[in-house]
Amino acid sequence: MAGPAERFRPVKRPFAVACKLTFRCNLDCGPCPWKDPHRKDLPTGAWKDIIRHFGEQRVRHIVFEGGEPTLRSDLNEIMSHAKSQGMRVNLVSNGTRDLAPYAPDRFVVSVDGLKATHDRLRGQGAYDRLKENLSRVKIYKDVLICLSRENHQEIEDLCEDLSGLADGFWFSFVYDYGGRPSCGLSPDERREAGQRILRLSRKFHVVNHPAYLRELGKGAPCRPTALAVVDAGGRIARGCTVGLVEEPDCRRCDLACHREVSLYASPWSRLWSWRPFSP
């Protein structure tokens, strides 16, 4: 991970940009701060301008997320535009809707636990729909498991259950935003989970870099400028996603998206073959 001086030095050009294409979602997960039915999404043309802006900065990896991005009828048009800018496209979905009409370079499908846990958190039938949709996708797909008090004891069984349906497993950790139900793990629990994920990587394709897993729970700031984030209203944050919502508290944060992209921004990263986005 970056040394103390590097952590505070801004990264000149973001390595990747995450675009939260919509405030809408067909699910209603308790800790989620991004769904907001009262706010209006940016139109297609505005997203194309934003993507072009990052394309001109030679940002080569783009992530489309939400809300649930497949709720946008122009999703394919927006993804094609990103590809025309030479970008590798990652599409993040909750997996409850048909994914077959889309052709990103990589799918990332979020899972909250085994069937009973997932359905309790995301609605009856959500787990079976997710498995069905995963089975129909022929493009590279990672399952994203965001660990919390609700699911951290299930990761071994979850990997077993989904191993035939996913190409890789990517782990992150719930950040407890203020004013929402708290379910985030303590630093010690995150460290312990990291050791278990490292053991899992002997059997399954774990996408996380070992350096991220070994640093869990330490609470130092990452280099958040390595990832640019655009919210569904068009606010661009060259930095911490948490900062779009509230004052960030790094001691609570082990968000893989930022901490792993920070690793890539380290001068040592050129020695690694690992890349956090698109195969």
* Candidate residues 19, 82, 174, 250; the one interacting with ligand SF4 per rule CB under 6 A: 250
Residue 24 has a CB neighbour count (10 Å cut-off) of 18
**Applying CB under 6 A, does 109 fall inside the site for ligand SF4?**
no
- CB 197, CB 209: distance < 8 Å: no
Piece of the chain touching ligand SF4 by CB under 6 A; list 124-132, 156-164, 217-225, 263-271: 217-225
Amino acid present at 256: A
**Applying CB under 6 A, does 232 fall inside the site for ligand SF4?**
no
The residues pairing with 61 across neighbouring beta strands, listed in sequence order, are: 16, 88
**Applying CB under 6 A, does 68 fall inside the site for ligand SF4?**
yes
Piece of the chain touching ligand SF4 by CB under 6 A; list 46-54, 150-158, 248-256, 269-277: 248-256
Q: Nearest CA to 76 among 45, 42, 102?
A: 102
**Applying CB under 6 A, does 88 fall inside the site for ligand SF4?**
no
Of the two residues 206 and 240, which places its CB atom closer to ligand SF4 in the complex?
A: 240
- Sign of the alpha-carbon dihedral angle for 12, 277, 275, 82: negative
Q: Nearest CA to 224 among 10, 31, 81?
A: 10
Strand order in the sheet with 236-238: 168-173, 141-147, 106-111, 88-93, 61-65, 16-20, 227-230, 236-238
**Applying CB under 6 A, does 211 fall inside the site for ligand SF4?**
no
- Number of chain positions touching ligand SF4 (CB under 6 A): 21
- Three-state secondary-structure class, residue 215: coil
CB of residue 100 vs ligand SF4: minimum separation in angstroms? 19
What DSSP string runs through 159-188?
HHHHTTT-SEEEEEE----TTS---PPPHH
Piece of the chain touching ligand SF4 by CB under 6 A; list 40-48, 80-88, 186-194, 250-258: 250-258
Of the two residues 39 and 199, which places its CB atom closer to ligand SF4 in the complex?
A: 39
CB of residue 93 vs ligand SF4: minimum separation in angstroms? 8
| Angle in degrees, CA 31, 220, 224, rounded to 5 | 70
| Angle in degrees, CA 76, 80, 81, rounded to 5 | 120
Binding mask 152-181 for ligand SF4 (x = CB under 6 A): ------------------------------
**Applying CB under 6 A, does 25 fall inside the site for ligand SF4?**
yes
Piece of the chain touching ligand SF4 by CB under 6 A; list 23-31, 125-133, 160-168, 199-207: 23-31
| Residues counted in the chain | 279
Rounded CA separation 51/58 (Å): 11
* Candidate residues 6, 27, 165, 180; the one interacting with ligand SF4 per rule CB under 6 A: 27
**Applying CB under 6 A, does 23 fall inside the site for ligand SF4?**
no
**Applying CB under 6 A, does 222 fall inside the site for ligand SF4?**
yes
Residues forming the site for ligand SF4 (CB under 6 A): 25, 27-29, 32, 34-35, 66-68, 94, 221-222, 224, 240, 242, 248, 250, 253, 255, 258
